[in-house]
Amino acid sequence: MTVTPCRNKWPGTLTDRERFTRQMHWQSVDRCFNMEFGYWNENFSMWDIFVDNGIKNNAEADVFFNFDRIANVGGNIWMSPGFTPKVIEERPNSLIKLDASGLIVEVPKDGHDTIPHYLGASIVTPEDWKREKELRFRRDDPARKVDVAAIRARHPATRDYPLGVHCGSMIGRIRDMLTFEGIAYALYDYPDMLEDMVETACALVEDYLDQVLGHIDFDYASGWEDICFKSGPIITLDFFNQVVVPRYRRIGKKLHQHGIDLWYTDCDGDVRPLLPGFLDAGINCLFPFEVNSCCHAGELLDLYAGQLRIMGGVDKMALGQGPNAIRAYLDSLAPYVARGGYIPFCDHRCPPNVKPADYLFYLDLKEKMFGMK
């Protein structure tokens, strides 16, 4: 499908690549980098602006709103092959399924978008892990080989947009594989097993980076964790600092050897207890920074001035409260946009309770405040 933008791209004198790199290094720019993180699936069936224009996913929405371009590439750095999904039981209003991570989950039969009810995991004990590691986490799996030429053809060195290299997850995917309850028990019952899982995750990322770094010109690195609640991390700080952070350092060393000094991780919840470890290991940017589970972005940008960057941090609750709340929230972020090291956008996927008219007001106001003067 060919998407026709509904608005002009913000004017500028720099390329998207130049602008992103300079803004995230506290250097002068023509205007703010303009991006958003996307929308709930329901938005594509509930917002008339999407329905009327045939916009069905986030990639199409990015083109539709004519945002600045940013891209990211990743490799086969986790379970390979995954479990074969199958339906185990059909209930009146739900299905019991085995998913690709080996979890037994209950999901709504009507297919509406929600977090599954986790009933069990295929990996619980060290014996389970030994079996599945040999089957699904082989470092010599031919499927892990990267087609570098294809990536270079798709993202040439002459491109005008920033390109990131995805560095995976050291603990979040393990949580997904074990369930929250499972990882909580494993921390105490099987700490050696859990550390071996972290080491395996790190080694798979290192193998991938060894194939691409030095062959593709990356502008930043990315990662994903989602290992915090509103009340703080789901793992102990001792385990994080003693087991996870050293693996981050190994990855960070490889990135720095190839000139990559910007590394964000996508971690929702209250990340403040983890921040010293992140920064020590080289993770120096938070994304998409959910405000209501942590704090105003400015609080951490002030506390870690010159060290920390943030991408996101526009309170989605304010977007749902209409123009006055939107204006007030963007006003509170303006000093940090001006300082640099901060790119404002909705602090996760924009939910469907935000009215399309208010969302367009938000986009217009962002351009008026942060576009080229």
The domains located in the chain, with CATH, are 16-78+122-370 (3.20.20.210), 84-121 (no CATH)
Task: Assess whether pLDDT exceeds 80 at residue 319.
Answer: yes
In the structure, what pLDDT confidence band is assigned to residue 112 with cuts at 50, 70 and 90? Answer: confident
Give per-residue pLDDT as tens, 270-282.
999 999 999 999 9
d(CA 105, CA 122): 11
C-alpha dist (Å) from residue 7 to 10, 11, 241: 9, 12, 46
Length of the chain in residues, anyone?
373
Mean pLDDT, rounded, for 29-41: 97
Mean pLDDT, rounded, for 318-337: 98
Which are the contacts of 13, defined by CB distance < 8 A and separation ≥ 6?
Answer: 30, 372
What percent of the chain has a predicted confidence (pLDDT) above 90?
97
Which are the contacts of 112, defined by CB distance < 8 A and separation ≥ 6?
Answer: none
Give per-residue pLDDT as tens, 134-152.
999 999 999 999 999 999 9
Is the model's pTM score more than 0.85? yes
Task: Assess whether pLDDT exceeds 80 at residue 249.
Answer: yes
pLDDT computed for residue 358 by the predictor: 98
Cβ 24 vs Cβ 264: under 8 Å: no
Q: Which has more pLDDT, 16 or 114?
A: 16
DSSP string, 128-167: HHHHHHHHH--TT-GGG---HHHHHHHS-TT-SS-EEEE-
